[in-house]
Chain A
Amino acid sequence: MKSPEDSRGSQQRLKLRKLFRRIPKGAASIILILLLCAVFSPWLAPHNPIEQNLGAALKPPFWQGGGTMDHLLGTDNLGRDILSRIIYGARISVIVGFVGVILAGAVGTLLGVIAGYFGGKIDAVIMRLTDIMLSLPFILVGIAIIGAIGPSLTNVVIVLGITQWVGYTRIIRFEAMSLSRSEFIEMAVISGCRWWRILLVHILPNVLNSAVVLATLDVGKMIIIEAAFSFLGLGVKPPTATWGAMLADGRLYMTVAWWIVTFPGLAIFATVLAGNLIGDWLRDELDPRHQLKA
């Protein structure tokens, strides 16, 4: 006979299977390829991404005259292999996308839960803070901060964390607010539950769905912002391969070598598109209100 534990487990498995049945397959494959590239770049990349070979500079992709199978997507102005640089660049994008989202999401969700639960003056202060953050031209502020503290991967991620939390706070606050008026929270208060326990055990798990959906939709945004910083020379230091820096290099050689600027851009586009599709899917699955609309 099955124990209740078992049937609960299989029910959850059924739920999960139902959830993943409608996952956009193309988008999921793109994300999978991206993760594989990021983790196994030394094994997947045919060349060293930063090794220069001026003898083989500006080689076109293999299908165009002058291209070779050795450099499938051609080489850049310094003879570096484009495909290898894109594969290594995936590392930076994955790190920035995920760590940035986790940082911003954690800060934003925490502030949102606090604002929504306590209300009153605390809420007013946090809300004005989000207004201030929203009205700041954040690309400019981000660039100014990175320009000041120096460009590096860590600094880019920190800047993303401290500038991108606002979206989470606004939505989570709203949910925490209506939750804190519900009966089970009242019961928790009556039974003498401490405020931090109410926040962590009772409210946080109930707003996590929304936070995860927002975070998924945000990964692409983080990757685009990092690419923008690198593009302006304020991201990860060269010669590290990043998609944004490749675009900056390629822009100067656009007239003679279209491939340098095209492929990293396509990589960003595909990644962000996949992230958005996965985010949309998660939102439809996890947020019943949205299902009605779609």
Chain B
Amino acid sequence: MGAYIVRRLLQSLIVILGVIVITFIISRVIGDPVALLLPPEASPEQRAYLTKDLGLDRPLYIQLVVYVAKVMKGDFGHSFRHQESAMKLVFERLPASLYLSFVAVLLAIGVAIPLGIISAIKRGTIIDRIGMTIALFGQSIPAFWAGIMLIFIFAVQLHWLPPSGYGGFKYVILPATTLAFFVSAATARLTRSNVLDALDMDYVRYARLKGVPEFVVITRHVIRNTFVTIFNIVALQLGLVIGGAVITEFIFSWPGIGRLSLESIYSRDYPVIQATVVVAALIFVVINLLVDIVYIATDPRVKRN
């Protein structure tokens, strides 16, 4: 088990390094930072000075090494737009993103897991079909359109909730619902197929043979044994949502890292773009790693091998 964790840690490190290298490549594709930072009428001397100052006169591989070393320390340089470090900007916006993602995932769990479990237990019945149709619809609605429609119905028409912005709990309901659409659809489908797998297991058949009441079979045996897998699914969705909420944050003017990065892309503020991408990827990788560790820590079969 220890060796496995060490190997997974190493793999995660490699992934993070790869992400950092990719952000470097993207920044080189985006354009010349000197041209972005200086006004067009700047003199050649000024250009030369800034090029040297930013280290852009050095060979590319040295620039890459310097960049990776700095990023490893959390230093992405200063934002071009704000006189602040890119990392600080990202960390200022991160809580809003985490808040939104957690509420969205909680909402999704509340809807999707019961839906998936019930559909599996009632496999083939009308309940199953309705449940899976709902999931299919959720999967097919583009999140940003769902968001716009929610604003139209609940903010513009009914005046129940604010259309956008950041504040009390009322503000988080619509964006979280928007995000939850897709997450719930995937979670419901995966939950259903996992519960179906568990229902086919010998221990379930045996419990039924023994005369254990069906309700107890489901709660004690089936759900308990699928719990770890379902936990995995949910955790992975959380990792996706934190970095994937760009458009939802844009529609609802939510001050998270998604909107920050979008603003940065429009203004070519690439230290901030790099910082956002790396932080989002880091969160995803850490969640993945934790999920794997929890998985082997909770499954006695893995421990034995």
The answer to whether B193 touches A228, judged by C-beta atoms less than 8 angstroms apart, is no
B136 contacts which chain A residues (CB < 8 A)? Answer: 273, 276-277, 280
B29 contacts which chain A residues (CB < 8 A)? Answer: 145, 148-149
Residue B49 is within 8 A (CB to CB) of chain A in the complex: no
Q: With A140-B243, A140-B246, A231-B247 given, is the CB distance from A132 to B19 under 8 Å?
A: yes
Residue B201 is within 8 A (CB to CB) of chain A in the complex: no
Q: With A132-B18, A132-B19, A273-B136 given, is the CB distance from A144 to B265 under 8 Å?
A: yes
Provide the A136-149 mask, 1 if CB < 8 A to any CB of B, else 0: 11011101110111
Provide the B254-296 mask, 1 if CB < 8 A to any CB of A, else 0: 0000100110011010000100110011001100100000000
B243 contacts which chain A residues (CB < 8 A)? Answer: 137, 139-140
Residue B5 is within 8 A (CB to CB) of chain A in the complex: no
Residue B14 is within 8 A (CB to CB) of chain A in the complex: yes
Provide the A176-206 mask, 1 if CB < 8 A to any CB of B, else 0: 0000000000000000000000000000000
B285 contacts which chain A residues (CB < 8 A)? Answer: 135
Closest chain-A Cβ to B279's Cβ sits at a distance in Å of 9
The answer to whether A227 touches B142, judged by C-beta atoms less than 8 angstroms apart, is yes
Within 8 A of A (CB), among B127-167: 136-137, 139-142, 144-145, 148-149, 151-152, 156
Most chain-A CB neighbours within 10 Å: which of B139, B156, B250, B251?
A: B139
Most chain-B CB neighbours within 10 Å: which of A149, A227, A251?
A: A251
Closest chain-A Cβ to B145's Cβ sits at a distance in Å of 4
Q: Which of A129, A232, A293 contacts B193 (CB 8 A)?
A: A293
A145 contacts which chain B residues (CB < 8 A)? Answer: 26, 29
The answer to whether A144 touches B273, judged by C-beta atoms less than 8 angstroms apart, is yes
Closest chain-A Cβ to B183's Cβ sits at a distance in Å of 15
The answer to whether B140 touches A265, judged by C-beta atoms less than 8 angstroms apart, is no
How far is it, in angstroms, between the C-alpha of A1 and the C-alpha of B201 when the chains are bound?
52
Provide the A120-154 mask, 1 if CB < 8 A to any CB of B, else 0: 00000000110110111101110111011100000
The answer to whether B19 touches A136, judged by C-beta atoms less than 8 angstroms apart, is yes
Residue A272 is within 8 A (CB to CB) of chain B in the complex: yes
The answer to whether A135 touches B265, judged by C-beta atoms less than 8 angstroms apart, is no
A220 contacts which chain B residues (CB < 8 A)? Answer: 140
How far is it, in angstroms, between the C-alpha of A149 and the C-alpha of B22 when the chains are bound?
16
How far is it, in angstroms, between the C-alpha of A227 and the C-alpha of B148 when the chains are bound?
14
How far is it, in angstroms, between the C-alpha of A139 and the C-alpha of B242 when the chains are bound?
12
Residue B31 is within 8 A (CB to CB) of chain A in the complex: yes
The chain A residue with its CB closest to the CB of B28 is: A148
Segment with Cβ contacts to B, from A70-78, A165-173, A254-262: A254-262
Q: Is the interface of A mostly helix, strand, loop or mixed?
A: helix
The answer to whether B148 touches A254, judged by C-beta atoms less than 8 angstroms apart, is yes
The answer to whether B30 touches A147, judged by C-beta atoms less than 8 angstroms apart, is yes
The chain A residue with its CB closest to the CB of B242 is: A137
Closest chain-B Cβ to A119's Cβ sits at a distance in Å of 17
Residue A269 is within 8 A (CB to CB) of chain B in the complex: yes
The answer to whether B148 touches A228, judged by C-beta atoms less than 8 angstroms apart, is no
Closest chain-A Cβ to B290's Cβ sits at a distance in Å of 14
The chain A residue with its CB closest to the CB of B246 is: A139
Residue A224 is within 8 A (CB to CB) of chain B in the complex: yes
The answer to whether A143 touches B18, judged by C-beta atoms less than 8 angstroms apart, is no
Residue A268 is within 8 A (CB to CB) of chain B in the complex: yes
Closest chain-A Cβ to B292's Cβ sits at a distance in Å of 12
The answer to whether A269 touches B140, judged by C-beta atoms less than 8 angstroms apart, is yes
A227 contacts which chain B residues (CB < 8 A)? Answer: 142, 144
Provide the A91-135 mask, 1 if CB < 8 A to any CB of B, else 0: 000000000000000000000000000000000000011011011
The answer to whether B268 touches A254, judged by C-beta atoms less than 8 angstroms apart, is no
Q: Which of B26, B30, B149 contacts A262 (CB 8 A)?
A: B149
Q: With A144-B273, A254-B152 given, is the CB distance from A228 to B142 under 8 Å?
A: yes
Residue A247 is within 8 A (CB to CB) of chain B in the complex: yes
Q: Which of B11, B30, B149 contacts A265 (CB 8 A)?
A: B149
Provide the A203-240 mask, 1 if CB < 8 A to any CB of B, else 0: 00000000000000000100010011001100000000
How far is it, in angstroms, between the C-alpha of A151 and the C-alpha of B5 when the chains are bound?
43
The answer to whether B277 touches A136, judged by C-beta atoms less than 8 angstroms apart, is yes
The answer to whether B18 touches A276, judged by C-beta atoms less than 8 angstroms apart, is no
How far is it, in angstroms, between the C-alpha of A245 and the C-alpha of B103 when the chains are bound?
29
The answer to whether A129 touches B18, judged by C-beta atoms less than 8 angstroms apart, is yes
How far is it, in angstroms, between the C-alpha of A22 and the C-alpha of B151 when the chains are bound?
39
B244 contacts which chain A residues (CB < 8 A)? Answer: 137, 139
Q: Which of A128, A141, A144, A250 contacts B15 (CB 8 A)?
A: A128
Within 8 A of A (CB), among B18-74: 18-19, 22, 26, 29-31
How far is it, in angstroms, between the C-alpha of A144 and the C-alpha of B137 when the chains are bound?
30
The answer to whether A139 touches B148, judged by C-beta atoms less than 8 angstroms apart, is no
Within 8 A of A (CB), among B188-247: 193, 196-197, 243-244, 246-247
The answer to whether B148 touches A143, judged by C-beta atoms less than 8 angstroms apart, is no
How far is it, in angstroms, between the C-alpha of A269 and the C-alpha of B151 when the chains are bound?
18
Where the two chains meet, the residues of A that have a C-beta atom closer than 8 Å to any C-beta of B are 128-129, 131-132, 134-137, 139-141, 143-145, 147-149, 220, 224, 227-228, 231-232, 247, 250-251, 254-255, 258, 261-262, 265, 268-269, 272-273, 276-277, 280, 293
21 contacts between A and B (CB under 8 A): A128-B18, A131-B11, A135-B284, A137-B243, A137-B276, A141-B277, A144-B26, A144-B261, A144-B273, A144-B277, A147-B266, A148-B26, A148-B30, A148-B31, A255-B156, A261-B149, A268-B142, A268-B145, A269-B140, A272-B140, A273-B140
